[in-house]
Structure 1
Amino acid sequence: MAKKISEKTLKKSFWNWFFWNGCSQQAESMLGMAFGQSMAPVVEELYDTKEEKAEALKRHVTLFNTEAQVGSICNGIVCGMEEANANGECTPEIIGSVKTALIGPTSAIGDSLWVATIIPILLTICLSVSQANASVAWAGPVLYMVIYPVCTCIISWKLYKFGYHTGLEGMQKFMANGKLDMLTDTMTVMGLIVVGALTASFVSMSLPIQIVKDVYDVTTDTVLEAQVLFNADSMLNSIFPNILPLGLTLFVYYLYAKKKWSPMKLMGLILVLAAILTAIGFACGVYA
């Protein structure tokens, strides 16, 4: 009788991956130990002898890395291949080759879809909810803590089952028909739109340069004190709204992408500039 992985074992394998995929990440095998832990229930059910189980576990604790949420499809595909191997329809060498081949595409899709798009969009929505009403500012974090794990779990489980049922052939068809490139490009554009929206909404910078004078009003024969005759920030925003936050963002991006500055170095630069410019503002009476 052909061996088949039970639904209970598949779920146990998925939960092992879902909850513990990052618990053993290290430089030598990256997510290899977590992948082995995920495959442990499957190996236990499919193989009979201690030697077969040990050999199967050894090939799953080797170097492996992906984006964990979308990467759950890899676990599903490998489960299907281990099932085939236990029935004499596959070889360990093919399983190892497929695992290695899946690292690149699943990482690219996962980083573009999950890290660069879904998480920023969800964070933007939750931040907006918190800022909309100070009395319910707690609603944003609570919303994020509920939606993120629930959506992550549902999507990861669907991909896991998809990988198990369609196998490598389903992944190959998805990659061969151009949908992978289309999805990656779409997620990249959407991610850029989200970053642009975040810049406009949450990056603030002003130019507090004004010309203020007392003005004599002939019609009322009175002196109007401290009238703003010129406001540099209002003038710039009337020509190009939020040009200063945009300029600051592009400057930071230039240092990060072109000059290879680290995030810590960039935050240090912004902090120093803010301190210097604030001190100049107090010295000149701008913030008096």
Structure 2
Amino acid sequence: MSEVTKKISPKTLKKSFLTWFFFNGCSQQAESMLGMAFGHAMSPVIDELYDTKEEKAEALQRNITLFNTEAQVGSICNGIVCGLEESKANKQCTSEVIDSVKVALIGPTSAIGDSLWVATIIPILLTICMSISQANQAISWMGAVLYMIVYPIGTFLLSWWLFRLGYRSGLTGMQSMMSSGRLDQLTNAMTILGLIVTGALTASYVSFPLPIQIVKDVFDASTGEILEGVVLFNADDMLNGIFPHLLPLLLTLGVYYLYAKKKWSPLKLMGVILVLALAVTGIGYLFGVYT
């Protein structure tokens, strides 16, 4: 008599996904990164697929090893591993394959997730919500409310769709995408889009005025009157007339260089920005821009 094919129930799949969605960062640490959270999310699947205590212990052990990804897009990894564990329970897959797949998925899912979700979708959503808040003081609260609604719902729907996609397509679908080059194309496209969004946010929300101006009382020969406080020279207007938002761009590039290349800490960078702001403000008072 043939053995009954083991299948993960929809209820268990949902439980596994919800565990990952709500607890993916609860146990992040240096030794296994998200490994413990991954094993926690896989525990309902393991309990359903395997019968003996030894089989469950072995499965749990291989799923708490080193793992790291961007949690939202990375939910596709959970779906794929659920499918592989199902195959393993039916003796159609080996533990080595599952371990190798988990390691192989770390790079592409992290890159796509950071480019698509962290560097593109979240900044765009924040830009829209901040614009709504700044557009009208009477409804400034709408931006925050919109973000609190759209972000968690959007995150949940994206993660759940990717989780089911990973479970349905499995390793074959992921290999097909990687071998066709579509994965690299998607990664490059998301990286470029993320850089464009970052550039737009820099121009829109990073402020670095140059408060240097020359103000004099000027005699108007046509009217015979003395015009008081005429601005003869404004360094900020002149600079923006030649290259709009040049100083915010240079400030952003400088912060990136110090953080990414020189490995400065965020606290040190904030201290430098504070000192720079005090110096520029002092220049503004010296030239009479701020009174």
Q: TM-score range by the shorter chain?
A: over 0.9
Q: Residues 115-126 of structure 1 correspond to what in structure 2 (within 5 A)?
A: 115-126=118-129
From 96, 99, 117, the counterpart of 1:114: 117
Deviations 1:95-126 (A, max 9, x none): 11211221111111111111111111111111
**Equivalent residue number for residue 163 of structure 2:** 160
Q: Which amino acid aligns with 1:73?
A: I
Residue aligned with 2:229, SS? strand
Equivalent residue of 2:231, what SS?
strand
SS in 2 for 1:64: coil
Aligned residue type for 1:49: T
The residue that corresponds to 1:89 in the other structure is 92
Displacement after TM superposition at 1:283 (Å): 4.3
**Correspondent of 2:245 among 239, 242, 247:** 242
Pairing of 1:268-287 with structure 2 (within 5 A)? 268-287=271-290
Question: Which of 9, 27, 34 is the equivalent residue of 2:12?
Answer: 9
SS in 2 for 1:27: coil
Note the aligned Cα RMSD (angstroms). Answer: 1.5
Extract unaligned runs of 5+ from structure 1: none
What TM-score results when the alignment is normalised by the length of structure 2? Answer: 0.94
Rounded to whole Å, the distance in 2 between the matches of 1:107 and 1:274 is 35
Aligned length: 288
Partner AA of 1:245 in structure 2? P
Q: How does 1:179-218 map to 2 (within 5 A)?
A: 179-218=182-221
For normalisation by structure 1, the TM-score amounts to 0.95
Mapped to 2, the partners of 1:223 and 1:155 lie a distance apart of 66
SS in 2 for 1:61: coil
> Which ranges in structure 2 are unaligned for 5 or more consecutive residues?
none
Q: Once the 2 structures are TM-superposed, how far is the Cα of residue 51 of structure 1 from its aligned partner? A: 1.8
Cα deviation, residue 134, structure 1: 1.5
Q: Distance in 1 between matches of 2:127 and 2:48?
A: 44
Where does structure 1 differ by over 4 angstroms across 4 or more consecutive aligned residues? none
Q: Percent identity, please.
A: 71
Alpha-carbon offset, residue 284 of structure 1 = 4.9
Is 1:30 the counterpart of 2:33? The answer is: yes
Query: Quick check: 1:131 aligned with 2:134?
Result: yes
Shift of 1:256: 2.5
Give a deviation string over 1:62-105, Cα, whole Å, max 9, x none: 11111111111111111111111111111222211211221111
Q: Secondary structure at the match of 1:213?
A: strand
| Distance (Å, rounded) in 2 between the aligned partners of 1:270 and 1:85 | 55
1:258 paired to 2:266: no
Partner SS state of residue 8, structure 2: coil
